[in-house]
Structure 1
């Protein structure tokens, strides 16, 4: 459960928190909030002060039906953000949220430590080999289709069996390409409807059979706000509840918009389970 981030060994046997920092105009919750340098640095600083272990920089909105953007634009957004954050906070551990190998490579070159791929290697055949070449941790998420069409692909004969099979295949590819540190993300909300999301949450611990750290990303998602009849802005309490359930089901990393509350959640969970 230890991953190597630029020579720093991070032990995931005690849960960690990844703060979401989108430099996009159209993300479902925080789109457009951090598109200038001052706002970006203020948010990065706040996340680090609140206890974020990682900052996840994304320049391509993956909300259902989001516009496809050119690789050059995603590169510009993310490399500028990664460079700026590390110039001001050189010890920050940044993950680059992208399914494009070129974007991942340029951001790792700019100092990012982790690749976070929503497609799990299915949208760019060069991504998994690149993670091996760069010797960086690789987060592979389960998704069917693309952000543009995934809502139409939420059909499964056996949800857990299909997700587990997907990961077993992709983990084998990662092993073949000498990717040492693999983290799996079941992809809440990605080609999954609300009922399927809750089934996945109920059985999240099933994925422990893969013997890989698990990342859970439920922060302010529609499984919360549509179930409760509220907006994403009102979904922090529901996020905390589901984050707690994810921890109980074996999540090693919580990917969140609200770092302070997630860190408190981890600390209280640790107290309950006897971790210091």
Structure 2
């Protein structure tokens, strides 16, 4: 297993917070995926439904129409790259797996669709169990925790146990504390500050801070595309705390920053 993996974001949506509409066209999305892979992304996360705060749901048929042609083309052109489908719907995940995806990134932690957990186990694909308070439409409405890190850890431990009982192999599971999903700026900072407590659960930890609004709040950068420096800082800190998968928009810059940080942290690590 490499020291880290970069997961490049391929949003096939008209309304994502950071690049809504930019890659909505199939050919544009495929080109973007190829560029991310060339820049160092080992995983490409293809999504057809925005999970930004307040986002509206997308019908299953429309989500399939958006993501399947992109996954099929990328699978044909990038046989050595892991393709991920970012979806909460088992039917979409199943079709994406048939098209070449080998990773299911479900922001509900495999809870949103009652058929998703069994699908992931039966198809023996990699998955991400993420913590989210509420749902995208409501998650940022005054989120409150007594101890956000402790509560996120308990949730992830419970979901891990459920997944293992359902037959998902341990090596197929990544855990995501859900930075920005039902959390305030201070909650997000606490999760990053104490990320080692999430890492201690055992599976690989995935971190997704890329271009998120809390970075804009901290830096004064309203334009998500101007939040690269903040993204790099949080990812390098997360790597030092033990995170191993990084979901990002700017694959090349993040890959370079992590490669340097990984070598500093472990002189014997070959990048």
Please state which band the TM-score falls in when normalised by the shorter chain: over 0.9
- Partner residue of 2:217 out of 211, 226, 230: 226
Aligned-residue offset at 1:161: 1.6
Matched, 1:96 2:85: yes
Unaligned runs of 5+ in 1: 1-10
SS at match of 1:214: strand
Matched, 1:122 2:111: yes
Map of 1:46-125 to 2, 5 A cutoff?
46-125=35-114
Map of 1:124-143 to 2, 5 A cutoff?
124-143=113-132
SS at match of 1:210: coil
Other-structure match for 1:5 = none
Structure-2 separation of matches of 1:177 and 1:195? 34
User: Could you tell me whether the CA contact under 8 Å between 1:21 and 1:55 is conserved in 2?
Assistant: yes
Aligned-residue offset at 1:63: 0.2
User: Could you tell me whether the CA contact under 8 Å between 2:11 and 2:29 is conserved in 1?
Assistant: no
SS at match of 1:162: helix
Structure-2 separation of matches of 1:37 and 1:131? 26
SS at match of 2:204: coil
The TM-score with structure 1 as length reference comes to 0.93
Aligned-residue offset at 1:87: 2.5
Give the alignment's Cα RMSD to 1 decimal: 1.2
Other-structure match for 2:205 = 214
Moved over 6 A (4+): none
Instruction: Count how many residue pairs are aligned between Structure 1 and Structure 2.
Output: 265
Matched, 1:21 2:10: yes
Aligned-residue offset at 1:79: 1.0
Structure-2 separation of matches of 1:152 and 1:31? 22
Other-structure match for 1:262 = 254
Structure-2 separation of matches of 1:198 and 1:30? 24
Map of 1:174-185 to 2, 5 A cutoff?
174-180=163-169, 181-185=172-176
The TM-score with structure 2 as length reference comes to 0.95
Aligned-residue offset at 1:90: 2.9
User: Could you tell me whether the CA contact under 8 Å between 2:131 and 2:176 is conserved in 1?
Assistant: yes
Other-structure match for 1:166 = 155
